[in-house]
Structure 1
Amino acid sequence: MATFLRILGIETSCDETAASVVVRHEDGRGEILSDVVFSQLDEHSAYGGVVPEIAARAHVEALDGLIEEALARANVSLDEIDAVAATSGPGLIGGLIVGLMTAKAIARAAGKPLMAINHLEGHALTARLTDGLSFPYLMLLVSGGHTQLVLVRGVGEYERWGTTIDDALGEAFDKTAKLLGLPYPGGPAVEKAALKGNPDRFSLPRPLVGEARLDFSFSGLKTAVRQAATEIAPLSEQDIADICASFQKAVSRTLRDRIGRGLARFKQEFAHLDVDRALVVAGGVAANQEIRRTLQALCIENGFRFIAPPPRLCTDNAAMIAWAGLERMAEDLPTDGMDVAPRSRWPLDKDAKTLLGSGKRGAKA
């Protein structure tokens, strides 16, 4: 079947450098022709977190080669690309500059349209690439930088129903791991340790559970972990495992309450329509098996489909950026000019109230 559109995607918002070529066929079906990701994990692990300056330099060194590899794997030339899509925000400004400036140069040299993509929109639309999901649906984004519950009504139409009022969930995992002396990245380390732990040993708080609002809070949980660890220091390997298991249980129970209320709201809001009820989970934390089991059970109880794209498409990648560009072009949404600027802060729902503060760079989330 002839292709409708073919886009080169570029992602450099944090510590993964990525390039991808994705096709949208005439029937709306998406196909990933290439998806290349270079992880900077080794460069940042010694610091226990991402160092923006190191990340930006690594993007500069790796990006050109990754783009060449992505085009080669897809067996296409720049002349055969219909547009160039690059993450324009939110994220680390140094990395965003690298990716967006590279995309501008390619678009100008090849005479192709430029699409400046919101990184969160890439996550929001991935399930349509992988599962052909129709609108509307709910998305839970849980990553190192974001924890949001978003109603996805259509391309460019997003309503943020809940967000974190302090730490993102991925950040809470990383800080818990660092506190307990576990390696970076913290999410997988905490999950691994929890397998050998007793989840009932420590009674940790479940922030905002029971409240009607759909927001999240993880700062108090992180503080409770520190207090529990301090009280029994020095920590044995079993102590660490028990704290991790208790932390993970508290997170799962918190998400069960928060998301359960979101599913109930979705059912009420769309009770008069015949819609495909679905909860999409994206972001690095979506790889946590305990969290997945909790959300899968919750969806079954409420009559929702549980959709989690493959792990490589849950974390930062360029295929989702290319697909978001394809979706926008298919809707005839405007492309961007060469004057478009990267944005370290860029809320997906432009009408959502600011909960985390704002400044010269705009609302945080």
Structure 2
Amino acid sequence: MDFHQFKEEVIAYSKEIGIDKIGFASADVFGELKSRLKRQEELQYQSGFEKGSVEERTEPVRLLPGAQSIISIALAYPSKMHNAPKSKKGDRRGIFCRASWGQDYHDVLRDRLQRLGAFLQEKFPEVELKSMVDTGELSDRAVAERAGIGFSGKNCAVITPEFGSYVYLGELVTNIPFVPDEPVDDSCGDCNICVDACPTGALIQGGQLNAQRCIAFLTQTKDFLPDEFRTKIGNRLYGCDTCQTVCPKNRKIDFHHHEEFEPDPEVVKPKLTPLLSISNRQFKEKFGFISGSWRGKKPIQRNAILALAHYRDETAVGELIRLMKDDPRPVIRGTAAWGLGKIGKPECFQAIEEAREHEQDEQVLFEMEKGVRFQQQ
């Protein structure tokens, strides 16, 4: 087979099925990445969501023994929401990050990769494939960088010349010996805007992320949020876009190529107070199709409480008192107590004192004590 010609056919087909950008990389070991990952482990910068060992994440042949090349794909997503509802006093709203707008991107990219794989199978019956989107062992960013999709910016995102960093990535490991593409030159230069703008200092230096401090990671945790981050989260319910929105490479970038990624404003910028009483079934019906729902409603509700505290929303006091007294989940009870203290109305402190008399969970009692301390500030 003429693999040069075959590559052109694959590129042409990728455009037919709505892939915005495609690149080809060798399946060689990702040596530099391996060193970085080992350093991440030493510094305990990992999120804990990573899949596989360092070797599996950097040696494609461990995932597909006959691997010879990797096809990387990118789909652009919107950076702006049309008809976005306003968050106003007495009717506050939270926000899901742009990567959680529209249909879960894992499903959309898997569809494109499946169709691309079927095309390869039809043309080359001996093909062997392994596809991945985000949750696989390989680093989507490292593959995309090697395949010439874009360069890895100081904000730890792949920045493409055409779509900025507003792209979803996926890859196909294959035994087909495609000619690799050339990487794109890093053009961050001396710009350090994203590092300086990171709300928690999670970007330690250009291209290195301490996931334990990253708001995008913290919004997905299920335990009590550490105190130092509670005032940093703002109204974020899931994810964080700061390091992307401040990037000069993303200026005036806004692509609406895929209907699946168009956001429903009432879903991705929902009212906060109704989230506090939403049932599991209601949560699944309203939010189940977006990627930001994957950890369930508990982290979203905890973040909603923190957002209401951030706004000092007095209209939410009654609902927060109900949660503090009656919710079976300690994290929600305790966070509600802290939030009430932050709002700081006399009835808030009175309710905390009353609830303390019946609370038995040590962590919740600790949060109640912190809530009461706001009275002295």
Q: TM above 0.5, one fold?
A: no
**Larger RCO (CA under 8 A, 6+ residues apart):** 1
TM-score by length of 2: 0.23
From the CA coordinates, give the structure whose radius of gyration is larger: 2
TM-score by length of 1: 0.24
Q: Which has the higher strand share?
A: 1
